[in-house]
Amino acid sequence: GQQVMQIPQYQHVQEGEDFTTYCNSSTTLSNIQWYKQRPGGHPVFLIQLVKSGEVKKQKRLTFQFGEAKKNSSLHITATQTTDVGTYFCAGNILTGGGNKLTFGTGTQLKVEL
Amino acid sequence: DAGITQSPRYKITETGRQVTLMCHQTWSHSYMFWYRQDLGHGLRLIYYSAAADITDKGEVPDGYVVSRSKTENFPLTLESATRSQTSVYFCASRRDDYGYTFGSGTRLTVV
């Protein structure tokens, strides 16, 4: 079945450092979504990318969708303690039953002062 | 996120018992989903529903049953709970072809 892999699994950074997580799919995606889950919380939708090569920004967060629509990345510039959490990518493929998201395993980010 | 609620928040049950997790959304979203979250596995889809009375299996459906008689409710039943079903369960709904909104989750422990 389709797999969505994320690396790294964990990342510790000092506050102010940059952070990047990468997402790779074994199949072409119709779109990709990114979610953030704070410790003890639930996943919260951040953004959706649809077009090949698309780049979107949300303040210090930059999201990219690869040209082949099989990979994506999330880059955070100058991390803050509020960025702590697990970041998940989720790929959407078209199936006979409609779109179903397949989540990556997530990257847990810890930010130290 | 007040529009999608899950109950209970925590549940401890014994092996072999039947347990139902509730999910209610107030937006009339067509699509609803049940995921389980375990360390090392991320979020895995159990069942989903495209509309009332339409449900389909996800990646890990064995041991679970769902129903959707009304658009706003999507209960998940563990027919005979096993220890391997100890997990955090998230319900989600989707507005059109956009991001999912998740409930706060149910932490289930099977002893």
Q: Tens place of pLDDT for every residue, chain B, 111 residues?
A: 469 999 999 999 999 999 999 999 998 899 999 999 998 778 999 999 999 999 999 999 999 999 999 999 999 999 999 999 999 999 999 977 789 999 999 999 999
* Neighbour tally for B88: CB within 10 Å: 16
Report the number of secondary-structure helices (H) and strands (E) in chain B. Answer: 0, 11
Q: What is the pLDDT of residues A31-89, one digit of tens each?
A: 999 999 999 999 999 999 999 999 999 999 999 999 999 999 999 999 999 999 999 99
- A104 to chain B nearest CA, in Å? 7
SS3 state of residue A83: helix
The answer to whether the Cβ–Cβ distance between A100 and B90 falls below 8 Å is no
**In this complex, is the C-beta atom of B90 within 8 Å of any C-beta atom belonging to chain A?**
yes
On the CB side of A67, how many CA atoms lie within 13 Å of its CA? 0
* Whole-angstrom distance, CA of residue B98 vs CA of residue A92: 10
Q: What is the CATH number of domain B4-110?
A: 2.60.40.10
Domain containing residue A55: 4-112
Beta bridge partners of B33: B48, B92
Domain total for chain A?
1
